[in-house]
Structure 1
């Protein structure tokens, strides 16, 4: 018995009773449940709380007694049966008492051992001391694992719950009392559907897992005023059957709206940064739009030549940014980049501004003369913005410059060599201007050697969030702010028509950064014109050809919305934001098989 006593005293390490163990299956060890030896546990007071199958079958009288009198102590049950121990010893400690009883006879007179250790009862045949030691060690290990798990479970601040396959709460920690307003012992045994029905919580994530069979996360409001972020995970047994559902709920009540929105913005930014971005960063353009990608591919093909380029596109689409990109990737990248707005210079001055003049060339001219912008661009690139506004008489001189690579300053008879690349940009239809006689046909063809077209922002909506992020970052740094957009505001910006294109978007972002009082720029902070225009942009025409069940009609409308969202926004995260749903919901909807 020395070995037995040494093992027994290992059970004295904790003053926590084994009586709280509802089943040894909590220890994830099937050896005890399937043991050929009868095993039972009791509480510190001696009430039986667990008995394995062998024990229940072998000692039917004890089982019957337990059923009729659940509060009876183990010692009383044993004494009331034919298994009254012949030899009993009581091991006393300052904390607990251990009753060890051994008998060599049962009701039939067959040889057996009945061992009772502080509510642990084993009925076995021909058990050796080595067998006894092995079983006790297994029990000690199981008890330690259980106590460790219980300690962790009860000392986690977050609410933890475990439900069975029917949605009945079988385990929880003390956090449920604060979060749900229920006593822990009363909550155990309650069905989550009843908690939802009785208003204890707004929506049960456990019920969702039971319905769908997949992990789920949602925000849950409780009757005590707490807001919980709940993640629910199903647990399956070796046969693939739902066994339990484990929930962890984090109290986010104390988190401010600002922090919540900031987290949303950061998640969006991380997703956007993984996708293609169109922006001016270190003079580079990156895009996910097919037309823009074609334009950039063309730019890469002309890096080693100085052919003239004609960039067409609406006002504000970024023609000057594209021109700078062409310059920065060309053989003239180390030379100057000079931009001339042909529509901003009066007709009477544009020749002198472009070509320069000699001293005394005309009344009011500087005595020392003045070099023109063409000379200023020597060895680099000359961007002629709004080329459609250039007067016809100047178009002739520009044509000569392109053809001969030389020009004359005003008042000079000596030609000047021009080692420059000319890029022209316009928001007008030069081909139609040629037809109407407003633009020289020969100059048009000279400029249109490498044509590039930049589509308007409304045709590349998927890039609006990326541009918005870049402009927001720029103006936050410039004005020492820390603003960010709410999800609904971002959806409106993405859906807006933007007739002024990128320039309009950029100006609005700057305005919102400096005028919005809070750190979160919400939909209410957006101009009424933007919100109003968004309501009608890219509308889906609805045609009713026949009457069908409303549920079927709703499904068809939902499918049409998803198809339109994907058409406008190939990025699923952006499409989901515009629709106001989570990305995982969006993916599940579009991948759902047809019924």
Structure 2
């Protein structure tokens, strides 16, 4: 059994019998053979600037893998920029990605603005949720990738750029190509090195490693000393984790906050926790996913922020989680009963 392989059993408690640092790659933690093979692939391409496409279900860690690709590459000392394609309104895409000249449009900065491609020049650009781009925006992106140059909004001079592109999607881009929902030429231009991340349910050994990692993390965060229970780990290994690593993280945090005993073995709380998590994944109106964030917000021992800052932070958290869960800015706005432009403005004002 996996528990006996990776853990020491002492009564009803478990302790990990392997060092986490041996299976930590920057911010990635895995001992699964298939995932380790993807790590090897990343190292093999570290000296190249080949585009990479990362696919995997929501919550599998696509952004962490993108960061790792940059971290081990020859561009590691250069800029790493990331864009969630689902959060950029179509009418703002060119000004955000390519920048604009002074006075290019009403409301434009007098100094003009650099676009993401210019900011990421010589570095790495991570395009998350690339499947959410419309066909028209895909065409504009393809031109820049093919020619390595672009023109700012309101400008006439072509600017050259040299960026290493990493794209990610929780949808099967190849299937979208067959359905004419994603441009074939853009797909093949990007899909030089494909990285496919397994869902957590298909890498059970990682459930054990990640559970102990999050246990240690949140014990430090909340000043507790909770222990991992045998029954809890068995339940974790039997569960399907539709929300993947993100759901596991939230579950461990919630259990640490709600469990009264020192050993996390309360099956009643565990069942309620997993049921709540699953409900959220199936129902956009369920916001129990955000319980840990609410706890942090009202805990004076872990925050010196003002009420306005806490509310703004929590608001951004909700917006970002809805976009991740629904898959697009438009669907998130509909679920939250507001407009995509309102969500976009709030996200753009975070800095």
TM-score (norm 1): 0.43
1:446-470 CA distances to partner (integer Å, 9 max, x unpaired)?
Answer: 1101011001001001110100111
Of stretches 409-418 and 517-526 in structure 1, the one that deviates more from structure 2 is 517-526
- 8 A contact 1:316–1:501 mirrored in 2: yes
CA distance in 1, matches of 2:263, 2:9: 11
CA distance in 1, matches of 2:264, 2:216: 14
CA distance in 2, matches of 1:519, 1:467: 19
Deviation at 1:495, TM superposition (A): 1.6
Deviation at 1:485, TM superposition (A): 2.1
Residue in structure 1 matched with residue 188 of structure 2 by the alignment? 445
1:169-207 CA distances to partner (integer Å, 9 max, x unpaired)?
Answer: xxxxxxxxxxxxxxxxxxxxxxxxxxxxxxxxxxxxxxx
CA distance in 2, matches of 1:399, 1:525: 50
Describe how 1:485-564 pairs up with structure 2 within 5 A: 485-522=228-265, 523-528=267-272, 530=274
Q: Which residue among 340, 345, 362 is the counterpart of 2:105? A: 362
Q: Which residue among 154, 163, 167 is the counterpart of 1:420? A: 163
For the residue of structure 1 that corresponds to 2:87, the secondary structure is coil
Q: Which residue among 271, 282, 288 is the counterpart of 2:17? A: 271
Deviation at 1:299, TM superposition (A): 0.7
Residue in structure 1 matched with residue 153 of structure 2 by the alignment? 410
Residue in structure 2 matched with residue 301 of structure 1 by the alignment? 44
Structure 2: give runs of 5+ residues left out of the alignment. 1-7, 279-351
Compared CA separation, residues 351 and 519, structure 1 to 2 (3 A): farther
Deviation at 1:275, TM superposition (A): 10
CA distance in 2, matches of 1:355, 1:295: 32
Higher helix proportion (structure 1 or 2): 2
Deviation at 1:305, TM superposition (A): 0.6
Structure showing greater Rg = 1
Describe how 1:76-115 pairs up with structure 2 within 5 A: none
Residue in structure 2 matched with residue 478 of structure 1 by the alignment? 221
1:432 and 2:175 equivalent?
Answer: yes
Runs of 4+ with >6 A deviation: 531-534
Structure 1: give runs of 5+ residues left out of the alignment. 1-261, 535-595
CA distance in 1, matches of 2:262, 2:149: 56
- 8 A contact 2:131–2:171 mirrored in 1: yes
Compared CA separation, residues 373 and 269, structure 1 to 2 (3 A): farther
Compared CA separation, residues 299 and 507, structure 1 to 2 (3 A): same
CA distance in 2, matches of 1:265, 1:311: 42
Residue in structure 2 matched with residue 372 of structure 1 by the alignment? 115
Residue in structure 2 matched with residue 386 of structure 1 by the alignment? 129
CA distance in 2, matches of 1:508, 1:324: 25
